[in-house]
Amino acid sequence: MTQGRRPAPGRPRSTSRAPRKRSLRGASLLRLRVGFVLIAMVVSVFGARLFQLQGIDAQAYAAKAEANQATGLVTHTLPATRGSIVDRTGMPLAESVDGKMITADPTMTHDHAQEIAKVLAGRLDIDYFETLDKLRQTDTQFRYIARRVPAAQANDVMAELEARGLEGIATDPDPVRDYPAHDVAANLLGFLGTDGKPLAGFERLFNAMLDGADGSATYETGAGNRIPLGDNSVIPPQAGEDLMLTIDRDVQWYTQRVLRQAVQASGGESGAAVVMDSRTGEVLALADHPTFDANKPLVSPESDLGSRALYDVYEPGSVQKVLTAASLIDAGKVTPETEIVVPPELPRSDRVIHDYWDHGRLRLTLTGVIAKSSNIGTVLAADEFSPKELHSYLAGFGLGKKSGVGIPGEAAGLLPPWRDWSQLRQDTISFGQGVSVNALQMATAVNTIANGGVLIEPSLVKGSATTKKGKVVGSATTDARRVISEQAAQMTTEMMEAVTDPEEGTAPAAAIEGYRVAGKTGTAQRVGEDCGCYDGTFTVSFAGFAPADDPRFLVYVVVQDPKNGGGGGSIGGPAFHKIMTYLLQKYAVPPTGSAPPDTPLEW
């Protein structure tokens, strides 16, 4: 090698080549080896560490990760907001609010129970001593302190506890369903169970629509914060749709209060009232009494949790006389002036038909028969009909069939098939005994007269909505059909105006100063629940609409089993008057200013 550095003269370059190459190769080899060893050392350190982490300590780390919930992959549900139920003006009847449940770990709260209970009882609507007991239990680590607390309130409580350094109280999501107007329309809305599942009413019927789909979020966190660029996936929740009813909250409230007063003042067992927009069939109020507070359904008896106006049937009584009379006029058999001789009593088959008041031989026009609500007169007029004709008219008015409002469970009522009618049967049916209806059905039938002879199916849902059985219901899908001619409807209306006549009619209390009001009272014998026969109790009712020459609203009030001896005119009439007055005022319907007809009642 030394020779390489001392090349012979003349060939210096050629000789120097080989030795240099060799030295280069030697150096790189050495470097390679050193490098390899270094890399091997580093890699083996890695390998050892890997083995330590994965093989030896794996369990410990997994446990540690699990213990620290703020770190690692987190999945939590994003609860969907349940749709609201609003009235026709958009005012909420039922809405969902973020809520929290407040829970305690008594093992941690035991020592500071008094202080904690003081804070909790001061800020929440709970009992101090009960809470104290719960906080002092020794056999459990979990107790509910309060459920469905609005989130803001729960946050305040937690903030105060934290500020005072008190531990052992925790919160969890617990959505609240709030019914801001309490018992207003509760009979229609229904309620949710403690687990958030709908148990009754529209909450259950339209659950598929109101209930959204929960979403979920999955992401990695470190110390409570989301790790950027970490695994994450979000399925956004689908909020439920809102449901708009045709109900007007204010009208519903007023109707419920008037109805309550009417039922309580008369000592009645229960009552129902229906307020309908005559032209569209939209139900502005459907009230029941007794009813319940939708926020606290469990404190009311189970029998009050539904809607008697929809689910219960009764015999309508004299209100039906207007249907019979309208049918007779439409068929051309009678006019409002038709003269009828009304005897004191009328023997038919083996029975004798009476009027509710004693009278001698009366010479009444058909208008007089309606105004005074004479059974005998109606029976005599209805003699013009064969059973088949009367049946087909009454079926046309919707009796014996569901009203078409689309609420499952609605009672269909009963209109016996005409082939089974005896003479007596036809007689009683003509004045409303021996048939049964629900309140909404009867309101719809009478509204046919208010709406110029065209029956409009009632609706409770504004627009349209799909029930859980997939049926589309609502004001957008209602059908209308002509039952009687417009002229017959107008004649019947004029007859009904005589009912509110201050001297001659049966319901002077229903009259409204300055307005033309058409109506009809009803006082029916009632079938008792125990014996299944007429037990001497009554159903009193009043159906009417105003203004008579251009009807806007129909109001129907029914009170079951009043005990003060009142009839449709004295119990239903004042209630009708109050509700109709309110409606005319609220919707700004001025009097039409036309003069009422002057049809003679007697001849």
Partner 1 sequence: MSTLMTQARNRVPRFAEAAVERARLTVVPRRATRAPKVPFVALVSLLLVGGVVGLLLFNTSMQQASFVATELEATAATLNAKEQALQMQLDTLRDPQKVASRARKLGMVPAASPAFIRLSDGKILGNPTVADPADAMRIAPLPTQKPKNLRPDPVILELPPVKTAKKKADTTPADAGNGPAEGTKKQHTSAASGE
Catalytic residue set: 318
- Tell me the per-residue interface mask from 457 to 496 with partner 1, x by CB under 8 A, - otherwise: ----------------------------------------
Ranges of beta strands (E only) in 165-237 are: 169-173, 176-178, 215-222, 225-226, 232-235
Which position among 515, 538, 542, 556 is part of the footprint of partner 1 (CB under 8 A)? Answer: 515
Query: Applying CB under 8 A, which of residues 69, 89, 218, 225 lies at the interface with partner 1?
Result: 225
Query: Which one among 27, 40, 152, 476 touches partner 1, defined by CB under 8 A?
Result: 152
Nearest to 480 by CA among 452, 439, 461, 460: 452
Q: Are 251 and 284 in contact (CB under 8 A)?
A: yes
The pattern of x and - marking residues 92 through 131 that bind partner 1 according to CB under 8 A reads x--x-xx---------------------------------
Among 6, 13, 361, 419, contact with partner 1 (rule: CB under 8 A): 13
Please report whether residue 581 would count as binding partner 1 according to CB under 8 A: yes
Minimum distance from residue 155 beta carbon to partner 1 (Å): 6
Contact segment (CB under 8 A) with partner 1 among 102-110, 177-185, 443-451, 497-505 equals: 177-185
**CB-CB contact of 267 with 232 (8 Å):** no
Taking CB under 8 A as the rule, does residue 600 contact partner 1?
A: no
Give the range of 48-56, 328-336, 474-482, 575-583 binding partner 1 by CB under 8 A: 575-583
Q: Cα(314)–Cα(307) distance, rounded to whole angstroms?
A: 14
Q: Which of 105, 160, 178, 241 binds partner 1 (CB under 8 A)?
A: 178
Distance, in Å, from the CA atom of 372 to the CA atom of 506, rounded to the nearest integer, reads 6
Tell me whether residue 243 or residue 429 sits nearer to partner 1 (CB atom).
243
563 lies in the binding site for partner 1 (CB under 8 A): yes
**By the rule CB under 8 A, 258 interacts with partner 1:** yes
Q: Which of 89, 218, 264, 386 binds partner 1 (CB under 8 A)?
A: 264
Q: Which region, judged by CB under 8 A, interacts with partner 1, from 249-257, 321-329, 469-477, 531-539? A: 249-257
**How many CB atoms are closer than 10 A to CB 54?**
10
Q: What is the dihedral of CA 389, 390, 391, 397, to 10 degrees?
A: 110
- Please state the closest distance from residue 241 (CB atom) to partner 1, in A: 19
CA distance 216 to 236: 7
Question: What three-state secondary structure class fits 594?
Answer: coil
The two three-digit tokens of residue 550, written as one number: 């251009």
Give 340's contacts (C-beta < 8 A, 6+ positions apart): 363, 364, 365, 366, 369, 377, 380, 381
Among residues 226, 224, 314, which one has the least CA distance to residue 269? 314
Measured from the CB of residue 596, what is the shortest distance to partner 1 in angstroms?
14
Choices 89-97, 206-214, 276-284, 432-440; region in contact with partner 1 by CB under 8 A: 89-97
For CA atoms 60, 66, 67, 73, give the dihedral sign. Answer: positive
Task: Give the chain's radius of gyration (CA, Å).
Answer: 40
On the question of a cis peptide bond just before residue 9, with omega within 30 degrees of 0, the verdict is no
Is 578 among the residues that bind partner 1 (CB under 8 A)? yes
Report the C-alpha gap between 369 and 603 in whole angstroms.
12
Among 118, 123, 257, 333, binds partner 1 (CB under 8 A): 257
Beta strands in 279-432 (DSSP E): 283-289, 339-342, 346-348, 351-353, 362-365
3-state SS, residue 88: coil
Is 260 a binding residue for partner 1 by CB under 8 A? The answer is yes
Which run of H or E residues covers position 15?
Answer: helix 12-51
Cα 217 to chain centroid distance, Å, stands at 32
Under a CB-based contact definition with an 8 Å cutoff, are residues 500 and 488 in contact?
no
How far is CA 50 from each of CA 43, 78, 230, 245, 283, rounded to the nearest angstrom? 10, 38, 22, 65, 74
For tokens 């010479």, the residue is: 363
Region from 150-158, 276-284, 420-428, 527-535 binding partner 1, contact rule CB under 8 A? 150-158
Only one of the segments 135-143, 147-155, 334-342, 451-459 lies at the binding site for partner 1 (rule: CB under 8 A); that segment is: 147-155
> How far apart are CB 527 and partner 1 at their closest, in Å?
23
User: At residue 427, what are phi and psi to the nearest 5 degrees?
Assistant: -60, -50
Judged by beta carbon, residue 95 or residue 389, the one nearer partner 1 is: 95
Is position 180 an interface residue for partner 1 (rule: CB under 8 A)? yes
Asked if 513 interacts with partner 1 (CB under 8 A), we say yes
The helix or strand, by DSSP H or E, that contains position 394, with its residue range, turns out to be helix 387-396
Strand partners, 178: 95
Is 254 a binding residue for partner 1 by CB under 8 A? The answer is: yes
* Shortest distance (Å) from residue 177 CB to partner 1: 12
> Per rule CB under 8 A, is residue 239 in the interface with partner 1?
no
Nearer to partner 1, 465 or 584 (CB): 584
Candidate residues 74, 137, 150, 424; the one interacting with partner 1 per rule CB under 8 A: 150
Residues 184-223 within binding reach of partner 1 (CB under 8 A): 184
* One residue of 1, 56, 163, 229 binding partner 1 per CB under 8 A: 229
Alpha-carbon span 498 to 257, nearest angstrom? 28
Q: Which of 158, 170, 238, 253 binds partner 1 (CB under 8 A)?
A: 253
Is residue 467 left, alpha or beta, with left meaning phi > 0 and alpha meaning psi from -120 to 50? beta
With CB under 8 A as the contact rule, the residue among 35, 122, 193, 224 that binds partner 1 is 224
250: contact with partner 1 by CB under 8 A: yes
Number of residues that bind partner 1 (CB under 8 A): 50
Q: Does 68 bind partner 1 (CB under 8 A)?
A: no
Distances (CA, A) of 451 to 306, 439, 445, 545, 573: 29, 18, 10, 10, 21
Considering the rule CB under 8 A, would residue 8 count as an interface residue with partner 1? yes
Q: Which is nearer to partner 1, 417 or 514 (CB)?
A: 514
Answer for the pair 544, 425: CB distance below 8 angstroms, yes or no: no
In whole angstroms, how close is the CB of 13 to partner 1 at the nearest point? 7
User: Which of 249, 391, 402, 462 touches partner 1 (CB under 8 A)?
Assistant: 249
The residue from 15, 216, 466, 485 that contacts partner 1 (CB under 8 A) is 15
Contact 214, 248 (CB under 8 A): no
Whole-number minimum distance, CB 409 to partner 1, in Å?
Answer: 27
441 with 399: CB under 8 angstroms? yes
Which chain residues interact with partner 1 by CB under 8 A?
Answer: 3, 8, 13, 15, 91-92, 95, 97-98, 150-153, 155, 178, 180-182, 184, 224-229, 249-250, 253-254, 257-258, 260-261, 264, 267, 512-515, 563, 578, 581-582, 584-585, 588-591, 593
